[in-house]
Amino acid sequence: MSSRLEQLLEELCPDGVEHVFLEEAVKIKNGKDWKKLGGGKIPVYGSGGVMGHVSEYAYDRASVLIPRKGTLTNIFYLEKPFWNVDTIFYTEINEAIIYPKYFYYFMSNCNLSAMSTESTRPSLTQSVLNKIRIPLPPIQIQREIVRILDNFTELTAELTAELTARKKQYEYYRDELLTFGDDVSYIELREVAEYSKLRIDNEDVEAKNYVGVDNLLPNKMGKVESGYVPEKGTSTKFIAGDILIGNIRPYLRKIWFSDIEGGTNGDVLVLRVTCSGVEPRYIYHLLSSEAFFQYNIQNSKGAKMPRGSKEAVMRYRFQLPAVDVQKKIIDILDKFDMLVADISAGIPAEIAARHKQYEYYRDKLLTFEEG
């Protein structure tokens, strides 16, 4: 707790902090249907987030949106006009006694899931919410608490933006390096590669050499470690130098380069280079590009869980430079790969640490002895 906040508490709340029921500081309002509204720029919120945009607003002052049904952990703080549907409440906040952002942080710290009135689908009622007890220190103290917590969230946002920027930078340079002039001819992937036809007994695979798209624990440089390993039957076998491609949404962007022998399931394609003039790791970088991902998405099939088309993957057209050029590109992109892997490991770890620190301080800052 900051010395400034401790000083304010000692000066303004020497005998503790007043606690009130939520209904004494905030009015909870129901959402309404939006289907008959015209299109516009006003965001429409449900318990899952923004659902669309319309021309009218339900409320145009600072408000905290609290889920009524569905995902009860999604609390939203808004300062601009919005519309909300009936799966989420909005609130009219008495700003004379409670600072809106302070109310947001307090509600974010509540275990709303434990207050659900239904077992089948998580639900909240106004009567349950209205009986929540809220510590109500003077506005000056509420503002100081918000300032401290805002600093934590801003740092996390900066770290996330840094990670996103580095990944985009890498993707840009990768796409540039894989684009050539008219003097480099196009070929189809099937001319230089084929799918693995080998099988491996599941008794011969373990966490370090079994790949499944939905239980992957990532390592550096495309190495994998699975949290699930089948005990019976057989799997598709991959060997060192094979390229593994996630073949079901939302895993179509997952590409791995193998340096070991192992097995995988039907959600992963195992591609093997068959041409002596082609470097397997060049194909790995090629298939990791945004261009291939978009191509794979466009050619995926199915409604609920679309899969990539094995035939379309083999028809993918790309430019193949001379082997010495391939090796130079591999060297550059491998270094980028290592850099991004280090950043991707370091920044998320820092974000997680900051989030834990934020939650710790949020708990302490929003807990007061009742006066």
Q: Can you give the residue ranges of every domain in the chain? A: 1-8+138-162+322-371, 19-136, 185-320
**Global pTM value:** 0.54
Average pLDDT of span 322-340: 86
Q: Are 231 and 202 in contact (CB under 8 A)?
A: yes
At 71, the pLDDT band (50, 70, 90 cuts) reads confident
Cα–Cα distance for residue pair 275/187, rounded to 1 Å: 12
**Which of 42-46, 50-54, 186-190, 227-231 is predicted least confidently?**
227-231
At 292, the pLDDT band (50, 70, 90 cuts) reads very high
**Which of 124-133, 203-212, 216-225 is predicted least confidently?**
216-225
Has residue 234 got a pLDDT over 70? yes
Has residue 300 got a pLDDT over 80? yes
- Cβ neighbors of 148 (< 8 A, separation 6 or more) are 2, 5, 361, 365
> Which CATH number does 185-320 carry?
3.90.220.20
* CATH fold of 19-136: Adenine-n6-DNA-methyltransferase TaqI; Chain A, domain 2 (3.90.220)
Has residue 56 got a pLDDT over 50? yes
Domains 19-136 and 185-320 share a fold: yes
pLDDT tens digits along 258-286: 989 999 988 899 999 999 999 999 999 99
What is the pLDDT, as a whole number, of residue 354? 64
Instruction: Give the alpha-carbon dihedral of 101, 104, 108, 110, to 10 degrees.
Output: 120
Has residue 361 got a pLDDT over 70? no
pLDDT tens digits along 134-156: 988 889 888 888 888 888 777 77
